Amino acid sequence: AKEKGRNDFQIFNSDMKSVSINRLKLENELRKAIAGDEFILYYQPQVDIESGRIVGIEALIRWDHPERGIISPNHFIPFAEESGLIVPIGEWVLRAACKQNKAWQIQGFPPVPISVNLSMRQFFQHNLKGKISYVLEQTGLDPQYLELEITESMTMDVDHAIQSLLELKELGVNVSIDDFGTGYSSLYYLKKFPIDKLKIDRSFVRDIMVDPNDAAIVATIIAMTHHLNLKVIAEGVETEDQLRFLHQNRCNEVQGYWFSPPVSAEKIESMLNGNAHV
């Protein structure tokens, strides 16, 4: 077998065949992907636990590589973050997601917010507010139908984070904290952040039926969000038992394979059509 150099990255295509790619090659390929429109968005529904209706959609990037097929974000987003290419990629995602959501509204689907993941570099970018505002203007999407997901690690620099969040709130967009519980989070500052929603990380949801500690953590996070007047969504809901536990503990929304994995635009459209009985 060929030696894997330190500078190589493991890429997996949809058949999980692994290909080792040199960093420089990966960087060039990513640049080509940005220029050549090789990225696509998949969409995963966020479901209201009481009504069973789709009340939000998370946009998740895929790389539709001409030779290697669909590549999952876990295999190129970390490198894109490192190299800075996440900035143009993130801008593409933001524009594509806003454009798609506006198109759905024009087609007459009931309007729901679309969630877009923001990377650390994007969040701390100079003039983030101006950039987002420009995309909203260009696409014609009402800011209330855009939600930005940031992770806990981006809130470590508290003053900077509050400043950026206030600017985003001025635009009228929603903000949620993704993967909540996995990072260092100061509960003291949580109440000071102008955010709308917490997303409980999948790692806690996964074992709620088998690990009493995880069950207690999830129940506590949900209760806390109600006290702080935040909405709460559980990620990675895969079973009916998990759904029942979350319902009993008054979680607002759920997202996970139990309802649907991330799917193509066409598939989410047919789910939106049957929105009354997801």
What single letter denotes the amino acid at residue 135?
V
147 binds Ca ion (CB under 5 A): no
Taking the complex as a whole, the smallest distance from the CB of residue 255 to Ca ion amounts, in Å, to 9
Residue closer to ligand C2E by CB (options 6, 132) is 132
Q: Which two tokens stand for residue 47?
A: 């479901």
Taking the complex as a whole, the smallest distance from the CB of residue 266 to ligand C2E amounts, in Å, to 17
What single letter denotes the amino acid at residue 38?
E
Residue closer to Ca ion by CB (options 141, 150) is 150
Residue closer to ligand C2E by CB (options 3, 278) is 278
Phi and psi of 117, rounded to 5°? -80, 125
Question: Which candidate, 171, 208, 222, 187, places its Cα nearest to that of 49?
Answer: 222
Taking the complex as a whole, the smallest distance from the CB of residue 201 to ligand C2E amounts, in Å, to 8
CA gap 237, 255 in Å, rounded: 6
Which among 8-16, 136-144, 147-155, 158-166 is the span making contact with Ca ion, rule CB under 5 A?
147-155
Q: Which two tokens stand for residue 217?
A: 């953590």
3-state SS assignment for residue 72:
coil
- Pick one of Ca ion, ligand C2E, none as the site partner of residue 113 (Cβ within 5 to 8 A by kind): none
Instruction: Supply the DSSP symbol for 195.
Output: -
Q: Which two tokens stand for residue 3?
A: 């030696």
Which among 86-94, 111-119, 164-172, 189-197 is the span making contact with Ca ion, rule CB under 5 A?
111-119
Tell the residue number behind the tokens 């206030």, with chain if given. Answer: 166
Beta bridge partners of 64: 70
Taking the complex as a whole, the smallest distance from the CB of residue 66 to Ca ion amounts, in Å, to 27
Q: Tell me which residues touch ligand C2E (CB under 6 A).
A: 44, 60-61, 72-74, 77, 86, 90, 93, 117, 119, 178-179, 202, 236-238, 255-257, 261-262
Which residue sits closest to ligand C2E, CB atoms considered? Answer: 256
State in Å, rounded, how far the first CA of the chain is from the last one: 48
- Pick one of Ca ion, ligand C2E, none as the site partner of residue 100 (Cβ within 5 to 8 A by kind): none
What single letter denotes the amino acid at residue 139?
T
Q: Which two tokens stand for residue 106?
A: 């024009």
Among 27, 29, 179, 253, binds Ca ion (CB under 5 A): 179
Residue closer to ligand C2E by CB (options 192, 261) is 261
Beta bridge partners of 21: 9
x/- letters, 203..242, toward Ca ion (CB under 5 A): --------------------------------x-------
Instruction: Print burial letters for 157-177: b (CB count within 10 Å at least 16), e (below 16).
Output: eeeebeebbebbbeeebbbbb
Taking the complex as a whole, the smallest distance from the CB of residue 39 to ligand C2E amounts, in Å, to 8
Instruction: List residues near Ca ion by CB under 5 A.
Output: 117, 149, 178-179, 235
